[in-house]
Amino acid sequence: MAPAGPAAGLRGMSHSTNFRPWSSADAMTADDHAMDRPVEPLQLEVSDARSRILDAAAHLFRREGFSGTSMDAIAALARMSKRTLYASFPDKRAVLEAVLQQFIARRFFLIERVSRDAVSDEALLTRMVGALHAMATDEDALAMYRLLVAQATNLPALASDANRNGLMQVQAMLRQPLRNCGVRDPDMAARLLYDLAVLAPMHRLLVGMEDMPMDTVAIVHMVLQGMKGM
């Protein structure tokens, strides 16, 4: 039986974590359902309010830090009353959790988009790993990671959950194409790619070291050759 192609690899991805990003299929399904029923104004208002809250909070957290941001400031920047804010989120930690979920979901959605027309599973992996590296080392990602590190003592579960769920998302995204390339332990291979393309470069930048050139073709090839049959 011939191995599945890259398109099958994308279809086979399982987003079983709490941070599951929307795929294009999700968007099509939502649009199809929306055509079959009337739009409810209240749902639109709640959705819009939530978006404003998360965008305002993300801006303030990056600029002022978690401790320097108040629920009052979030409500003011989101142009809403504190009552409306607290109706959506009970406290500032819940807001930060939602900001992290949204940030990660948006990143993984973009990674899937740039990888759709890959001509082989190895090419698909190379594109995904390259996109992971780029999106983990830009200023927005570094600012978000600094925020997590700063709160690791006060909110240890939040930082560890974010790191664990980020890895689980990567494993879910890379699992099928790795299997298609003959890797028997795709989760271990995905962890190696995550460490090489995401964690190591990110940590170099966080401590002020210069980012090294990333040869994603060589990295993916090395991991595939080392993990095939294992």
Please write the tens of the pLDDT for every residue from 126-148: 999 999 999 999 999 999 889 88
Give the integer Cα–Cα distance in Å for 139 and 176: 30
pLDDT score recorded for residue 214: 87
Mean pLDDT calculated for residue range 205-209: 89
Same structural domain, 125 and 79: no
List C-alpha distances in Å: 21 to 17, 25, 57, 169, 212. 10, 11, 20, 9, 29
Position 5 in a domain: no
Position 179 in a domain: yes
199 within 8 A of 227, measured Cβ to Cβ? no
Same structural domain, 119 and 104: yes
Place of tokens 């600029």: 63
Cβ within 8 Å of residue 77, ≥6 positions away: 56, 59, 60
> Is the pLDDT score of 40 beyond 60?
no
Same structural domain, 53 and 121: no
Position 22 in a domain: no
Position 13 in a domain: no
Q: What is the CATH number of the domain that holds 186?
A: 1.10.357.10
Same structural domain, 137 and 199: yes
Q: Which domain holds residue 205?
A: 96-230
Same structural domain, 71 and 142: no
Number of domains comprising the chain: 2
With bands split at pLDDT 50, 70 and 90, how would you rate the model's confidence at 230?
low
With bands split at pLDDT 50, 70 and 90, how would you rate the model's confidence at 69?
very high
Position 172 in a domain: yes
Same structural domain, 163 and 108: yes
With bands split at pLDDT 50, 70 and 90, how would you rate the model's confidence at 6?
very low
Same structural domain, 137 and 226: yes
Position 164 in a domain: yes
Give the integer Cα–Cα distance in Å for 197 and 38: 45
pLDDT score recorded for residue 156: 83
Q: Which of 58, 90, 122 is the last residue of a domain?
A: 90
108-131 residue pLDDT tens: 998 888 888 889 999 999 999 999
Q: What is the DSSP letter of 13?
A: -
Same structural domain, 203 and 149: yes
Same structural domain, 53 and 128: no
pLDDT score recorded for residue 86: 96
The per-residue pLDDT of the chain, averaged, comes to 80
Mean pLDDT calculated for residue range 158-166: 84
Same structural domain, 103 and 187: yes
Mean pLDDT calculated for residue range 86-104: 93
Question: Which pTM value belongs to this model?
Answer: 0.71
